[in-house]
């Protein structure tokens, strides 16, 4: 699978959205209290407030794509991965620069370089995967016959290093 840096950026943004959409029990725990929330408004006490929007749970395919993106981030330097992930969460460049401790142009350069690195590694994986598939298909072709081992070639009276040519027939022809 070869993806352009723009497509990788879109996949990372989708992964950040998927992580936000996961139910609370599956997400890391933050600060919380066992006490019920304080009612600050009389309308809220009687249930006249707006309800929370319904959370849409992501599909299994979206979660798989998110986990794949997490694997991509492991290929990067931790600081670059942090910049890429903060940008995927739609954080502003100013906040990213403050957290990373770099100026905006450096943060942008590192972000672009990280996306290109991911793209190159995905391309390299796709090429090695295609080579493996081609080798497996060549072995698994129904019309092909497997190569003979050296012992089988010797049993047939042919030298395996002689590429199937029989030396003995030449000697028999000279005698006769």
Tell me, yes or no, whether 154 and 134 share the same domain. no
Tell me, yes or no, whether 16 and 103 share the same domain. yes
Tell me, yes or no, whether 74 and 14 share the same domain. yes
The average pLDDT across 69-93 equals 95
Could you report the per-residue pLDDT of 106-161, keeping only the tens digit for each? Answer: 999 999 999 999 999 999 998 888 777 777 777 766 555 555 555 555 555 544 45
Tell me, yes or no, whether 96 and 154 share the same domain. no
Give me the domain span that covers residue 173: 146-176
Q: Describe the crossing of helices 5-21 and 104-139 by its angle, rounded to 10 degrees.
A: 100
Q: Give the pLDDT confidence score for residue 117 in this predicted structure.
A: 95
Tell me: pLDDT of 166 over 60. no
Tell me, yes or no, whether 89 and 15 share the same domain. yes
- CA 103/CA 11 separation, integer angstroms: 26
**Banded model confidence at residue 176, pLDDT cuts 50, 70, 90:** very low
**C-alpha dist (Å) from residue 5 to 84, 121, 125:** 12, 12, 16
Report which of residues 119 and 33 the model is more confident about.
119
Q: Buried b / exposed e across 89-104, counting CB within 10 Å, b at 16+?
A: eeeebeebbeebebee
Q: Give the pLDDT confidence score for residue 77 in this predicted structure.
A: 94
Tell me: pLDDT of 32 over 90. no
Domain count for the chain: 2
Give the whole-number percent of the chain exceeding pLDDT 90: 47
Tell me, yes or no, whether 71 and 127 share the same domain. yes
């Amino acid at each position: 699978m070869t993806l352009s840096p723009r497509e990788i950026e879109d996949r990372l943004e989708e992964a950040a959205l998927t992580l936000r959409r996961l139910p609370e029990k599956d997400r890391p725990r933050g600060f919380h209290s066992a006490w019920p929330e304080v009612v600050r408004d009389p309308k809220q006490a009687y249930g006249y407030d707006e309800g929370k929007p319904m959370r849409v749970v992501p599909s299994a395919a979206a979660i798989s794509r998110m986990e794949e993106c997490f694997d991509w981030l492991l290929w990067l330097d931790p600081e670059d991965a942090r910049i890429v992930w903060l940008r995927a969460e739609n954080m502003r460049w100013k906040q990213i620069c403050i957290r990373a401790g770099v100026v905006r142009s450096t943060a942008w350069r590192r972000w672009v370089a990280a996306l290109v690195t991911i793209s190159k590694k995905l391309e390299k994986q796709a090429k090695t995967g295609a080579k493996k598939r081609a080798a497996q298909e060549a072995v698994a072709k129904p019309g092909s016959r497997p190569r003979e081992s050296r012992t089988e070639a010797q049993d047939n009276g042919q030298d395996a290093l002689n590429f199937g040519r029989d030396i003995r027939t030449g000697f028999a022809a000279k005698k006769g």
